[in-house]
A and B are shown apart, each in its own frame.
Chain A
Amino acid sequence: LCRGGLAERLCRLQNRERSAISFWRHQCISDAKIPSDKSGVLIVKILEMFEECTIQVAICQQLEQSSAMLSSEDAVINAGEPILKVLFARETAAHLKSRPQDVIHIYPPWQKLLLKNADVPVIMNTYFSQKVLLSEHSETREQTYGLTKMLIRKNIISLAQMFRLDDLDDELHQKSSDNQVACAPQIHNNCDSNQHPLAQSAVNDSLLEMVESQGAVGWREAQVRVVIQRVYCLPAREGYRSHIQGNKPLLSNRGMFCRLCLLVQDAYGMFSEVQLQSLSSAEDIEQYCRRWEGKFCCLAGMKILQRTTRGRALGLFSLIDSLWPPVVPVKVPGQSQDSEMMTTNVPPPSFCYILTAQSGEIHVEVDEEEQISNLYQPPAVHGLKEILQIDGCNERCSFWARVLYLRLQTKHSVPINQREIGLFVTDSTLQNVVHIIPKVVAVSVAASCVLSTEITEALSVASRLVFFKDALWENGRIICVERTVLLLQKPLLYSAAGADLSELTGPVRLDELDSTTQANSICAVRGTVVGVNESTAFSWPICNRCGNGKLELCPQDRALLYCSQCSEVVISPVLKMQLEVFLSCPSRSQSTVKVKVWHEMSFGLFVLINMLLSLQSYEVQSVLGKEVGLLNCYVHSITSHPNCVALEEIVLL
């Protein structure tokens, strides 16, 4: 069952009810006297019975009523002979074994339903019912009837009649616009609140109050004013599903469906995550961040999706913690508006409501023209050096860094757009100091971190400066997860506690390969060629358009090559050559260093090897002893027994 879903809710209610029912029934059996609290008890006499599906329908006459349950509707019923239709569930009916003329006591909670075109009210949820044994004859009657099986007429329900859920005037509103593709949110920007239809309703400033007074299902009359602390995209669990056979999901070219979300905070310091509509890709996330973060907005017509707690939503709460304590005093509930107390002593929140707009229009109005709220906490930007020294775990951090190299996770069972991306980044705090800290840091981008098309394209093309907002520092690693946003532009506002957002001067330097180098990092290597792994030397053609290394022979013309990814013949393939070379590196003299070098990227000192390879005849002797200058490499693996380092030459962005 979906956690937090309706089914789970019903299950919980049902379990509670079931134990109450069995407890009550047990009491009835064991002790013939029912607790004498007679209020709310319905006393009926069965006139006629029949069965529909497994429900027993009893047409009854209502006998005396206890005053407690008289409502205005009851008063209308003819006091002489009020007729009721009482429904009994299969289990209750079996327990009661009732016959016409029996008198039944129905204890609360029972429910009454009035049907539109019928006079007779329907009584249901009659679990707590008991038959009353009336007279002396009753015992003998029971015995007689117990022996003969009573036949109850069963009404077979026709399947021809559908249920109509809407009244005629509701027909216009019938479209379920919940899951339509939204191109841009229909969010109103006008700051002239007098013209807006929601302006008449009172504006609240407490999320908790709204939730408690308006309930889970929709806040019709009121709105609440909050500050947008963060804007981000969350991957949408349900994408579009094609329900034509095959159930193949409809994917956009990005392959990822996501939902625009806001993390808002009210005047009392309480947070809430508001999920807006689905976007097909995170195109405009940078825009929304710029326009909305820090501004006030009014929420109306929200529905509570979930009330989540710290233990269940670590990611969300790590973000909330980074915004705690509030930078300005917040109100304390229960106090008058004038007295505001400092909140430095208040512990961070332990629960958070996740809201979503009800189906249809989105009721979020952002006051873009207004000033940034004092409550807004822009991301605190730090240099990478500082971040690497953070003590804690699960802390959000923001930084501005240059991306040097990008590597996709190679698990083939995972579709490309859901693979983890490894980014290698640096900034001036790492480059400009001679220290034991590394010069380059690996940042993992998990599949749950939504990247806009802009970012993905920018990253694969050239070295870019990227702003990482609210990345997670976890167990000594920086990872980009849900709620982390990667942006190409510096934020307008940031609190820079000594952050240096200056450009890097001079060329980027990588750490040199040494005993502290770890796998899945990048480094620079220099050494002497001591061997060539002849068995791994080979060359193959790749597609000049997409780099696909698995070209096939063209079915029509076996002399031509065909690329299945581009779906076209490859006219001018690029020849790629691979060679593994063993180096002796003074910086890590104990290890065998094996470097995979590629023809395309190798220039300079390896041209000789390549030429020899391409001629299909070479002499290993001629390259042995050659000095190899600083090569940029990716460290595939480091093993201690045997002491071997496997590298791959790379080109930095």
Chain B
Amino acid sequence: MDSTLPAVAEELLKEIRKAFQETSHGIDTFFFRLKFIFGPSAVPALDLVDQRSVTRVMSPSGRTAYQVLGSSGKLYTCYSSCHFCTCPAFGFTVLQKSESLLCKHILAVYLSQAMGACQDLSVSEEQLTSILLAEEEDGG
């Protein structure tokens, strides 16, 4: 059977984006849903959004990646072409145990997009390459 959760998560994030852009809906409804679907990642992700921790990094060729400044001060990279994050929680909770759809950093990326809280940074091709490759060397 086709999976359900991703479609639900996507619809929820779309709604949040709409609410922030157009209507004067109370955000509280969305918060309840966010908490239900994403569980313990919801509050930390919103905290990352509050602190404007998400940056979309773009290179001239059009490649993008996201960098999220985690609460510990470490910078994590999230891919823009698939759900991947360099944080240890992602490796454990999402990849290994399939207990969560996303880690808090990826969720923060989506929420920042939805609420227009993403910072933008343009870098050169070399710099973007080093961002994407650097994680390979550091990560386990």
Q: What residues of chain B lie closer than 8 Å to A167, measured between beta carbons?
A: 14
Is the beta-carbon distance between A157 and B50 smaller than 8 angstroms? no
Q: How far is the CA of A442 from the CA of B107 in the complex (A)?
A: 51
Q: How far is the CA of A178 from the CA of B117 in the complex (A)?
A: 6
Is the beta-carbon distance between B43 and A111 smaller than 8 angstroms? no
Is the beta-carbon distance between B117 and A7 smaller than 8 angstroms? no
What's the nearest-Cβ distance from chain A to residue B53, in Å?
9
- When A115-B11, A217-B24, A243-B67 are in contact, do A179 and B37 touch as well, CB less than 8 Å? no
- When A178-B116, A243-B67, A244-B131 are in contact, do A10 and B31 touch as well, CB less than 8 Å? yes
Query: Which among A50-58, A519-527, A533-541, A643-651 touches the partner chain?
Result: A50-58
Cβ of A641 within 8 Å of any chain B Cβ, yes or no, is no
Q: What residues of chain A lie closer than 8 Å to B88, measured between beta carbons?
A: none
Is the beta-carbon distance between A10 and B42 smaller than 8 angstroms? yes
- When A14-B35, A57-B4 are in contact, do A220 and B24 touch as well, CB less than 8 Å? yes
Is the beta-carbon distance between A243 and B69 smaller than 8 angstroms? yes
Q: How far is the CA of A215 from the CA of B13 in the complex (A)?
A: 20
Q: What residues of chain A lie closer than 8 Å to B73, measured between beta carbons?
A: 247
Is the beta-carbon distance between B50 and A162 smaller than 8 angstroms? no
- When A54-B100, A156-B98, A220-B22 are in contact, do A10 and B43 touch as well, CB less than 8 Å? yes
Q: How far is the CA of A250 from the CA of B52 in the complex (A)?
A: 16
Is the beta-carbon distance between B5 and A10 smaller than 8 angstroms? no
What's the nearest-Cβ distance from chain B to residue A113, in Å?
6
Is the beta-carbon distance between A52 and B5 smaller than 8 angstroms? yes
Is the beta-carbon distance between B24 and A1 smaller than 8 angstroms? no
What's the nearest-Cβ distance from chain A to residue B131, in Å?
7
Cβ of A125 within 8 Å of any chain B Cβ, yes or no, is yes
Q: Which of B1-30 contact A (CB under 8 A)?
A: 1, 3-14, 17, 19-29
Q: How far is the CA of A165 from the CA of B47 in the complex (A)?
A: 20
Is the beta-carbon distance between A2 and B47 smaller than 8 angstroms? yes
Q: Which residue in A125, A218, A358 is a CB contact (below 8 Å) of B32?
A: A125
Cβ of B132 within 8 Å of any chain A Cβ, yes or no, is no
Cβ of A154 within 8 Å of any chain B Cβ, yes or no, is yes
What's the nearest-Cβ distance from chain B to residue A107, in Å?
15
CB 8 Å contact bits of A166-182 with B (1 = contact, 0 = none): 11000001011111100
Q: How far is the CA of A216 from the CA of B39 in the complex (A)?
A: 24
Tell me if B's interface is mostly helix, strand, loop or mixed: helix
Q: Which of A39-79 contact B (CB under 8 A)?
A: 50, 52-55, 57
Q: Which residue in B10, B20, B94 is a CB contact (below 8 Å) of A163?
A: B10
Closest chain B residue to A17, Cβ basis: B32
Cβ of A89 within 8 Å of any chain B Cβ, yes or no, is yes
Q: How far is the CA of A160 from the CA of B67 in the complex (A)?
A: 19
Cβ of B87 within 8 Å of any chain A Cβ, yes or no, is no
Is the beta-carbon distance between A215 and B26 smaller than 8 angstroms? yes
Cβ of B80 within 8 Å of any chain A Cβ, yes or no, is yes
Is the beta-carbon distance between A176 and B1 smaller than 8 angstroms? no
Q: What residues of chain B lie closer than 8 Å to A11, measured between beta carbons?
A: 43
Cβ of A164 within 8 Å of any chain B Cβ, yes or no, is yes
Q: What residues of chain B lie closer than 8 Å to A360, measured between beta carbons?
A: 116
What's the nearest-Cβ distance from chain B to residue A42, in Å?
15
- When A162-B81, A241-B119, A243-B67 are in contact, do A157 and B98 touch as well, CB less than 8 Å? yes
CB 8 Å contact bits of B105-131 with A (1 = contact, 0 = none): 000001011101111110100010001
- When A6-B50, A215-B26, A247-B75 are in contact, do A124 and B69 touch as well, CB less than 8 Å? no
Closest chain B residue to A54, Cβ basis: B99
Closest chain A residue to B56, Cβ basis: A176
Q: What residues of chain B lie closer than 8 Å to A243, measured between beta carbons?
A: 55, 57, 67, 69, 75, 119, 121
Is the beta-carbon distance between A125 and B33 smaller than 8 angstroms? yes
CB 8 Å contact bits of B83-111 with A (1 = contact, 0 = none): 11000000000110011110000000010
Q: How far is the CA of A157 from the CA of B99 in the complex (A)?
A: 10
Is the beta-carbon distance between A241 and B39 smaller than 8 angstroms? no
Q: How far is the CA of A164 from the CA of B12 in the complex (A)?
A: 11
Q: What residues of chain A lie closer than 8 Å to B67, measured between beta carbons?
A: 243
Q: What residues of chain B lie closer than 8 Å to A240, measured between beta carbons?
A: 119
Closest chain B residue to A52, Cβ basis: B5
What's the nearest-Cβ distance from chain A to residue B41, in Å?
11
Closest chain A residue to B2, Cβ basis: A155
Is the beta-carbon distance between A113 and B11 smaller than 8 angstroms? yes
What's the nearest-Cβ distance from chain B to residue A5, in Å?
3
CB 8 Å contact bits of B63-84 with A (1 = contact, 0 = none): 0000101000101000011111
Cβ of A429 within 8 Å of any chain B Cβ, yes or no, is no
Q: How far is the CA of A329 from the CA of B61 in the complex (A)?
A: 61
Is the beta-carbon distance between A157 and B6 smaller than 8 angstroms? yes
Is the beta-carbon distance between B52 and A238 smaller than 8 angstroms? yes
Closest chain A residue to B44, Cβ basis: A7
Q: What residues of chain B lie closer than 8 Å to A173, measured between beta carbons?
A: 21
Q: What residues of chain B lie closer than 8 Å to A89, measured between beta carbons?
A: 36, 39
Closest chain A residue to B116, Cβ basis: A359
- When A11-B43, A159-B84, A217-B25 are in contact, do A87 and B75 touch as well, CB less than 8 Å? no
Closest chain A residue to B79, Cβ basis: A162
Cβ of A439 within 8 Å of any chain B Cβ, yes or no, is no
Cβ of A161 within 8 Å of any chain B Cβ, yes or no, is yes
Q: Which of A1-50 contact B (CB under 8 A)?
A: 1-2, 5-11, 13-14, 17, 50
Q: Which of A224-274 contact B (CB under 8 A)?
A: 238, 240-245, 247
Is the beta-carbon distance between B6 and A163 smaller than 8 angstroms? yes
Closest chain A residue to B77, Cβ basis: A243
Is the beta-carbon distance between B4 and A53 smaller than 8 angstroms? no
Q: Which residue in A90, A158, A162 is a CB contact (below 8 Å) of B80?
A: A162
Is the beta-carbon distance between A163 and B110 smaller than 8 angstroms? yes
Is the beta-carbon distance between B24 and A219 smaller than 8 angstroms? yes
Q: Which of A68-116 contact B (CB under 8 A)?
A: 85, 87, 89-90, 111, 113, 115-116
Q: Which of A497-525 contact B (CB under 8 A)?
A: none
Q: What residues of chain A lie closer than 8 Å to B118, measured between beta carbons?
A: 176, 178
Q: How far is the CA of A1 from the CA of B71 in the complex (A)?
A: 10
- When A5-B47, A165-B13 are in contact, do A241 and B25 touch as well, CB less than 8 Å? no
Q: How far is the CA of A11 from the CA of B55 in the complex (A)?
A: 24
Closest chain A residue to B81, Cβ basis: A162
Additional 9 contacts, C-beta under 8 A, given A178-B116, A215-B25: A6-B47, A7-B46, A13-B35, A50-B1, A57-B5, A85-B4, A165-B114, A216-B27, A217-B27
CB pairs A–B below 8 angstroms (5 shown): A6-B50, A85-B4, A87-B37, A242-B121, A358-B20
Closest 7 A/B residue pairs (Cβ): A5-B50, A359-B116, A7-B47, A215-B24, A7-B46, A2-B50, A163-B10
Q: What is the interface of chain A, defined by CB distance below 8 A to chain B?
A: 1-2, 5-11, 13-14, 17, 50, 52-55, 57, 85, 87, 89-90, 111, 113, 115-116, 118, 122, 124-125, 154-167, 173, 175-180, 213-220, 238, 240-245, 247, 358-360
